[in-house]
């Protein structure tokens, strides 16, 4: 973090010291992992992933609510954030492609894709992870992660706790203003 009021021979404000204490080496983090299966993904449609009770690995500053708007992470401090995530599609033989995306306020800001090797593999499909930096206002801005797939039929998203993995979203404060 940089502070305009901190320079040679300048007074350091108590608020600056409080920020340094609050956001020093330990930065707030929200890490969510899906704990249940069953989010239906219609072929060719973006679907945001819900994170219900039990899905919060870390939520240092209460950015996520498991009941209201449970697809969203809404940071409470203005600044630049790093958002990282990946998705998992349930084992099936009809999915030909899947991609994961991150949205800010309902608009895609980052998307990645992965094609299933062939239609004979009946294994859970992990999409590639993606990471992006985004400025957030600390009040109304929110982030979501979602999946889109191409398939002959709707496939269910899964958060299998075995080697297949879980759909995950990690949001961390990188720099406050």
Instruction: Say if 2 falls within a structural domain.
Output: no
Instruction: Say if 56 falls within a structural domain.
Output: yes
Instruction: Say if 3 falls within a structural domain.
Output: no
Structural domain containing residue 102: 14-175
pLDDT tens, N- to C-terminus, the chain (177 residues): 455 555 556 677 777 777 766 666 678 999 999 887 667 787 888 989 999 999 999 999 999 999 999 999 999 999 999 999 988 877 766 777 788 999 999 999 999 876 665 556 666 667 778 999 999 999 999 999 998 887 776 666 555 555 567 889 999 999 887
Instruction: Say if 98 falls within a structural domain.
Output: yes
Q: Which two tokens stand for residue 147?
A: 């999946």
DSSP H stretches of helix in the chain:
14-23
DSSP H stretches of helix in 39-106:
none
pLDDT for 104: 98
- Judge contact between 102 and 83, C-beta under 8 A: yes
CA end-to-end span of the chain? 7
pLDDT for 12: 72
Distances in Å between the Cα of 62 and the Cα atoms of 18, 76, 103, 166, 171 are: 19, 8, 19, 21, 12
Instruction: Say if 5 falls within a structural domain.
Output: no
What CATH number does residue 64 fall under?
Answer: 2.60.120.40
Instruction: Say if 1 falls within a structural domain.
Output: no
pLDDT for 70: 95
pLDDT for 96: 76
pLDDT for 116: 66
Task: Domain count for the chain, please give it.
Answer: 1
Q: Give the C-alpha separation, 52 to 57, whole Å.
A: 12
In the DSSP assignment, the letter for residue 20 is: H
pTM (2 decimals)?
0.81
pLDDT for 1: 46
Backbone φ and ψ for 119, nearest 5 degrees, come out as -75, -5
pLDDT for 30: 97
Instruction: Say if 109 falls within a structural domain.
Output: yes
- Judge contact between 157 and 88, C-beta under 8 A: yes
Q: Give the C-alpha separation, 17 to 22, whole Å.
A: 9
């Amino acid at each position: 973090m940089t502070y305009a009021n901190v320079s040679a021979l300048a007074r350091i404000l108590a608020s600056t010291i409080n920020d340094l204490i609050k956001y020093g080496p330990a930065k707030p983090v929200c890490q969510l992992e899906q704990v249940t299966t069953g989010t239906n993904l219609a072929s060719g449609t973006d679907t945001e992933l819900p994170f219900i009770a039990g899905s919060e690995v870390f939520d240092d500053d209460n950015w996520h609510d498991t009941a209201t708007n449970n697809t969203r992470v809404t940071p409470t401090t203005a600044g630049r954030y790093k958002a990282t995530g990946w998705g998992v599609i349930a084992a099936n033989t009809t999915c030909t492609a899947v991609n994961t995306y991150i949205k800010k306020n309902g608009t895609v800001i980052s998307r990645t894709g992965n094609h299933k090797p062939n239609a004979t593999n009946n294994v859970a499909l992990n999409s590639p992870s993606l990471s992006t930096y985004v400025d957030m206002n600390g009040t109304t801005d929110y982030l979501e992660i979602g999946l889109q797939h191409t398939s002959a039929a709707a496939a269910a998203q899964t958060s299998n706790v075995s080697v297949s993995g879980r759909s995950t979203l990690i949001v961390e404060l990188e720099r406050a203003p």
